[in-house]
Amino acid sequence: MRNNYLVQFLANLLRCIWLFFPSLLFVALALICLTQLGQGKDILIAFTETKGSPGNNLLTKFIFLVAIIFWVYVSWYASRMVAYIKTSQRTDWNRMELRFLHRFPRIIGYSCLLVIVLALLTLFDQLTWLTAQPFLFLIAGMILLWLADRQMIRLSGFAREGRMLKALLLTAAILVPLLLIIFSYSGLFRKPFFIILLILILLLVYMLYINLRRHRMQELERRSARITQVHYHGWRKYADKLMAFLHLPKEERGYFAAFNLICLVGLSAYLSVVLFMGAGAFVGPLPFMLLAFTVLMGFGNIVSGLSCKIGLNLHFFIFILAAFLPTPDHHRVRNEKLSTRNVRPDIYRHRQDLSEYLNRWLRDRPEIDTMNSYPMYVVLANGGASRSAYWVASVLGRLEDSSIRRGSTRFSRQLFCLSGTSGGGVGIATYYNMLMHQQEKAPTVGFETAARNYLRQDFLTYTMGRMLGADFFNYIPVLNLLIPDEDRAEALEQAFERARDDSYYYVGFDSTWFDEAITLKGRQHNLPILFINTTRVKDGSPGVVSNISLSPEIFNRRVDVLGLLQQDKTIRMSTAAILGARFPFISPAGRIDSYRPPRDSTKPGDTLRANYFVDGGYFDNSGAGVVQEMIRNMFQVMSASKDSILRNRFSKISLRVIHITNSPQGTVPLVPIGPFKNDVLAPLLTIIGAYDMQTTVNDRRIITYLKDIKATYYPIHLYNDLEIRSDTLSNGPYAMNWFMSDSVRHQIDSRLKSQPRLEALLLRGTAQ
């Protein structure tokens, strides 16, 4: 008998998990994001940081409260509506089945609040062990709340206890907004303990609300039994029809109205972020994540409810249609016509090659003749989203400011090339733009500050708005016809373009076209070579967005991305920077169409080639490969040059490669992976390992090559430099994201002031 009960219990548990999987899925996703990902933890830390005026803080925290209420209430009531529809399909439900259908939705609501509590607990150094098995603690918490809920059901049935619980509910409901105001104005939101306290009070409000509601419904049911029939008009009539369609009891009219009101408020907040960038920066990533998860979960429950209603699994059919029906392609790389700005349509065909640029660079520096040695700097910048962009641009800005402060030769004058990947590409593009826009200004210290002020901003929330909004619904048949021709990569570009940019050395991503940054044949170019590395999807070929022309013979058939652009087409600098930072799933592969004449001249028309590009880190996360090919060709050009003056100047060049990294140094620990992982995941683990090792091999190759040609290699590590024993304070972790908390940013700023190799480089100066 006991075994039969256990079998029934497990069977009902599995059925409910399947029935309510949209709600459970987003509970699991939230738990993973906030406890297992460094980015999620950094988002939590950022939420605890108090910025701006107390009024702004109060409004921001109020939006967070709205997001939590939206998530909890919709998770509970939407699941409950699915349960009502499921219950209406049969009349022979046994007691255990009904208990599961009625209790499971409320447990889902509890789990939403438990996820937030568990995530906040991981911020305490003493409780980081919670991250090892968060689902185990979530399940344990759900079981405890299940037992507490049973006792609450029993207590709420007694008249005296029921009145006490109502008073407690009213007190707790008043206490929540009161504490919100107190914590916002006193700065107590900086401490996770007080946020946890607020969430626990919300949990009490939720528990009392859903249990006292049962007795309210029973009372309304008894009253309705004494009334013959009432005919409503207007909106009440349509509301009753909708409730009848959803098989909701009429006694729940008030709760259904509350559900719709909360949905209206939450959906409005969600749409404000999706549609307006300013709203995204104000709301912040944590509240928006909860809002977006709720909207997507609600959509999933609508599909589940309709599936129960018609007796057909619509999730399966939507998935099949999304996978096999043609879907509008919104992932084309943004481009504009050159002719609209009266720029020659073939301008990218007239870029200088490496030989011309090198000759002009040497010819423009006659001061070399009076020196024994002249520094030529080449910069490599590893990828790593905002962490990398902030670190790279800050290091370069610090070097530039140091040269201005000394009154010596500007660092940028001795800078020959910038090569970056992913966030490193964004960092070098930021520095390059500041150089380009400052040429008419009086030089003053400010590059580092301008870079830090610009790259400290929130570039994530608006991107998430597109990813968890239009891009998600683009795969839903019929709905995708309403989606605008934009994607989350474009949203990320726009976030950079519209960010606050009011420093003396402004970045100007909003007004800079890449054709303004290129070299032109026969003209002097006073800025360094720019290499933004990317990877082509179809064949894995490395691609480069560069301001010089790339010869396939010199650069080993790397794809010259600008050479693929159609006649009269151009891209923005922001687009070029993000093209090397398209790391799925945050930014999908970007499509650039090129046309090639057919091999058979008798056939009309050109052949369309769809090129898709993703993050350059898939092939080379430092940009070392293209730089090594460049340096090798520089020596070939000078050895073949007939200009003795240029040869003499080149012989005095002291080549210095600055490699700016932002990942932990050292090797991956070789621990056992277990038989199951070995059998199932060995190929995937090998590919992931090869992805990291490919960059390591490229880096070691260029380091060896630099030793051979007697060049100097300067690694500027964000994390501890293992080759310097005294360098032990920069352990991180530094979250890799398009958003950074002030805590992470302050750690990077501190590292900037104490990086030993950077300090040595600054002391040495740029003119020596």
16-32 tens-digit pLDDT: 999 999 999 999 999 99
Please answer whether residues 22 and 304 qualify as being in contact, where contact means their C-beta atoms are separated by less than 8 angstroms: yes
CA distance 531 to 535: 13
Q: What residue segments make up the domains of the chain, in order of their start?
A: 11-224+234-271, 344-458+505-594+609-661+681-764
pLDDT reported for residue 232: 55
Confidence of residue 74 (pLDDT cuts 50, 70, 90): very high
Please answer whether residues 731 and 719 qualify as being in contact, where contact means their C-beta atoms are separated by less than 8 angstroms: yes
**From 74-78, 184-188, 235-239, 634-638, the region with the lowest mean pLDDT:** 235-239
Q: To 10 degrees, what angle do helices 54-88 and 2-19 make?
A: 120
pLDDT over 90 at 613, yes or no: yes
pLDDT over 70 at 600, yes or no: no
pLDDT reported for residue 438: 87
pLDDT reported for residue 601: 62
What are the Cα distances from residue 349, in Å, to 10, 189, 520? 68, 56, 9
Q: Does domain 344-458+505-594+609-661+681-764 have CATH number 1.10.10?
A: no
**Percentage of residues in the chain having pLDDT higher than 90:** 51
Confidence of residue 226 (pLDDT cuts 50, 70, 90): low
Higher pLDDT: 358 or 166? It is 358
Confidence of residue 216 (pLDDT cuts 50, 70, 90): low
What are the Cα distances from residue 698, in Å, to 124, 664, 693, 706, 720? 39, 17, 9, 12, 21
pLDDT over 70 at 604, yes or no: no
What's the mean pLDDT in 355-384? 95
What's the mean pLDDT in 440-454? 90
pLDDT over 80 at 185, yes or no: yes
**From 171-175, 292-296, 620-624, the region with the lowest mean pLDDT:** 620-624
**From 94-103, 113-122, 401-410, 743-752, the region with the lowest mean pLDDT:** 94-103
Helix (H, G, I), strand (E, B), or coil: what is residue 594?
A: strand
CA distance 553 to 542: 14
Q: Are strands 529-536 and 607-615 parallel, antiparallel or unpaired?
A: antiparallel
pLDDT reported for residue 618: 85
Task: For the chain, give the mean pLDDT.
Answer: 87
Asked if residue 585 has a cis previous peptide bond (ω within 30° of 0), the answer is yes
Please answer whether residues 180 and 61 qualify as being in contact, where contact means their C-beta atoms are separated by less than 8 angstroms: yes
Higher pLDDT: 666 or 67? It is 67
Please state, as a whole number, how many other Cβ atoms lie within 10 Å of the Cβ of residue 485.
10
pLDDT reported for residue 439: 76
CA distance 115 to 30: 7
Closest-CA residue to 574 (of 335, 281, 285) = 335
pLDDT reported for residue 318: 85
Burial status of residue 348 (CB atoms within 10 A of its CB: 0-12, 13-18, 19 or more): buried
Which residues lie closer than 8 Å to 43 by C-beta, 6 or more apart? 34, 285, 286, 289, 737, 739, 741
Please state, as a whole number, how many other Cβ atoms lie within 10 Å of the Cβ of residue 472.
17
Helix (H, G, I), strand (E, B), or coil: what is residue 522?
A: coil
What SS3 string covers 89-108?
Answer: CCCCCCHHHHHHHHHHHHHH
Separation of CA 134 from chain center: 23
CA distance 98 to 487: 44
What's the mean pLDDT in 286-298? 94
Query: Distance from first CA to last CA of the chain, Å, rounded?
Result: 88
Q: To 10 degrees, what angle do helices 159-186 and 134-156 make?
A: 140
pLDDT reported for residue 532: 96
Predicted TM-score of the model (pTM): 0.90
Helix (H, G, I), strand (E, B), or coil: what is residue 279?
A: helix
pLDDT over 50 at 767, yes or no: no
Higher pLDDT: 51 or 474? It is 474
Which helix (H) or strand (E) element contains residue 392?
helix 385-406
What's the mean pLDDT in 503-523? 92
pLDDT over 90 at 107, yes or no: yes
